[in-house]
Amino acid sequence: MRAFARVLAVATLTFITAVTIVTPLLVSAYLDRWRAFPQFLFTFSVPVLVLGLAVFLFSGLRSGRDVQPFFSTLGLFVSLSLESALGFTR
């Protein structure tokens, strides 16, 4: 079951990466946030948080802990939900 969880984790992170790359190209407001200095700090913090949570997720899957992957996956979706909710407000 953990092997399947690793495959799904890789797939989820692949789609998150794809959306992160494509969104600024489709929505100019996101691209403006990457270029503006004060907003850049908030925008850049979300990918850093996702990267940290991904490391936490895979270390939990490797060590055999059940709680660590659960909370890291929960953190991934909560952080992305907050980013998308706050991303459209200016």
Q: According to the model, what pLDDT value does residue 89 have?
A: 45
How high is the pLDDT of residue 87?
Answer: 60
Q: What is the pTM of this model?
A: 0.79
**40-76 tens-digit pLDDT:** 777 778 888 899 999 999 999 999 888 999 999 999 9
Which residue, 12, 22, 38, is CA-closest to 30?
A: 22
Say how many domains are in the chain. 1
Structure confidence at residue 86 as a pLDDT band (50, 70, 90): low
What are the tens digits of pLDDT across the range 5-27? 999 999 999 998 898 888 888 88
Q: Residue 35 sits in which domain range?
A: 2-87
| pLDDT greater than 60 at residue 88 | no
Is residue 43 within 8 A of residue 34, CB to CB? The reply is yes
Q: How far is CA 13 from CA 10, 19, 38, 50, 51, in A?
A: 5, 10, 27, 9, 9
CA distance 67 to 90: 36
